[in-house]
Amino acid sequence: GGSAMAAVRDVEIDPEGTFKYILVRLQRPGGGEQRDIVRGTKAAEFHNHIFEKVNPEMEKLGYECKCLGGGKIEHNSKDKKIRVFGLSTGYGKADHSVTVEILKKVYTDYEITWSDDKK
């Protein structure tokens, strides 16, 4: 049912700084429900490090994961601003506009923008 999927948070990102992020699609095997989540952390040197952490967690909950691309997030908690930009060499560029919509669900009082800038 929806309970396991509801337990998965839409967004898990570092509270401050600039770091890599990926957009991940969760799907029940054989189709059915799916949703996209955002994961990002300074701890990840490469985008695949994030995916390698998320994937087993989600498989345990019964989801197949697909990385839809990546980029960078600049999170300024003091000014309540998030900027989404850049791309992942390995996974390609995530659709930052989708990422922004997901971020807005969680950071409701933030100014959230995106661009295709590399820096």
What 3-state class would DSSP assign to 104? helix
d(CA 66, CA 68): 6
47 assigned to active site:
yes
- Name the DSSP class of 108: T
Catalytic-labelled residue, pool 47, 49, 75, 96? 47
Residues annotated as binding site?
Answer: 20
Residues annotated as binding site for substrate?
Answer: 20
- Of the candidates 86, 80, 92, 103, which has an alpha carbon nearest to the alpha carbon of residue 20? 86
Catalytic machinery residues: 47
